Amino acid sequence: MFDAPPGLGPRWPTFGIKLSAAPGRVSEVHDTVSMSWAMLNTMTGFYDQTHIGEAAAAARTIVIDTGTVRATDLDLDREAQDLLFRKGREAALEFLDGTPGSQAGTGRPTSART
């Protein structure tokens, strides 16, 4: 939304946050409702990847590993909430500090302390 057109520098720095479930989880389909959920999960994941897959966008994106929690899991217990909070904090600190990890090799400028 705030990205500059190709070839132009951005007017202000922007970054994104991507919640990413662990790969490999397959939805089981038993009926029309479970098939609809499986299709929704596939479509939302694919749509997100089309923009995030660009190198410039990936370099400005904080990727938070959500483990097995998916965006459509609406009734989270306290343990899952704490996991998401902890993982989000860790990913944000790594991104802002420029420490190696999920952002390594993306070409993102490192902080002034590095």
pLDDT digits (tens, 9 = 90+) for 3-47: 677 777 777 777 788 887 655 556 678 899 988 888 887 777 665
Residue 79 reports pLDDT greater than 90: yes
SS3 76: coil
* Secondary structure class of 80 (helix, strand, coil): helix
Top-confidence residue, 3 or 48: 3
| Cα-to-chain-centroid distance, residue 4 | 21
Of the listed ranges 2-11, 57-66, 98-107, the least confidently predicted one is 98-107
What pLDDT does residue 110 have? 39
Per DSSP, helices labelled H in the chain are 32-52, 55-59, 78-97
